[in-house]
Amino acid sequence: MGEQTLVMFRRFVYGAGVMSLIVRPASASDFHALNHIKESAVQDSTAAGSELTGRLHRWNPRRSYAPPSYWHNAIVAEVDGDIIGVAKTIGAMLKDLWVLQSKRSLGAGAALARAAEDCIRADGHRMAHLYTAAFNARTCAFYERNGWSMVRFTYHTVGHFRRCVYVKRL
């Protein structure tokens, strides 16, 4: 993410009240919340395929756990002080983008994607890429709505499932 300061702020009406969405760099104190979000989102995205979930758990039962150093340049989305999503880039790759299922459709995913794209661009890359599971139609549709193009399929070497490779010109 470089040395840039990243803060986005948006107020929106949700239900009967007004909520505040903030996108900011992750801090060391966010570590446990980030792992919880990733674990929850992975379980949600693989729930449709119990065979796939079983294969991934046999490979690494704590597949979603990441040490604090992993999150050192992550970006978080929070609503009214609660972290609801996280994104992480590595080079030109959008490595992680997870939003709690109960907080989807609030704009946090799109805000995190834009912030991650800004970080990739700030690091000098003009093209970004990512991988996502082909069976996750909701995620594929999300990336397409946000300007990403699917360019090919590949296979996950451990889970042996088909993945979509998406790219976006920045």
State the virtual CA torsion across 9, 132, 32, 53 in degrees, nearest 10.
150
| 12 in Cβ contact with 19 (< 8 Å) | yes
Full domain range(s) for residue 105: 8-126
Q: Does any domain span residue 88? A: yes
Instruction: Give the pTM.
Output: 0.81
Q: Does any domain span residue 90? A: yes
Quick: pLDDT tens for 71-87. Answer: 888 999 998 889 999 99
Q: Does any domain span residue 144? A: no
| Length of the chain measured in residues | 170
Q: Does any domain span residue 41? A: yes
Task: Indicate the pLDDT class of residue 169, thresholds 50, 70 and 90.
Answer: very high
Buried b / exposed e along 44-68 (16+ C-beta atoms within 10 A)? bbbeebeebbebbeeeeeebbebee
Q: Does any domain span residue 49? A: yes
User: What's the domain count of the chain?
Assistant: 1
Give the HSE-up count for residue 77: Cα atoms under 13 Å, Cβ half-sphere: 29
Q: Does any domain span residue 113? A: yes
Q: Does any domain span residue 120? A: yes
Q: Does any domain span residue 135? A: no
| 161 in Cβ contact with 132 (< 8 Å) | no
Quick: pLDDT tens for 3-40. Answer: 444 555 554 444 445 678 889 999 989 988 988 888 88
CATH number of the domain encompassing residue 33: 3.40.630.30
pLDDT beyond 80 at 42: no
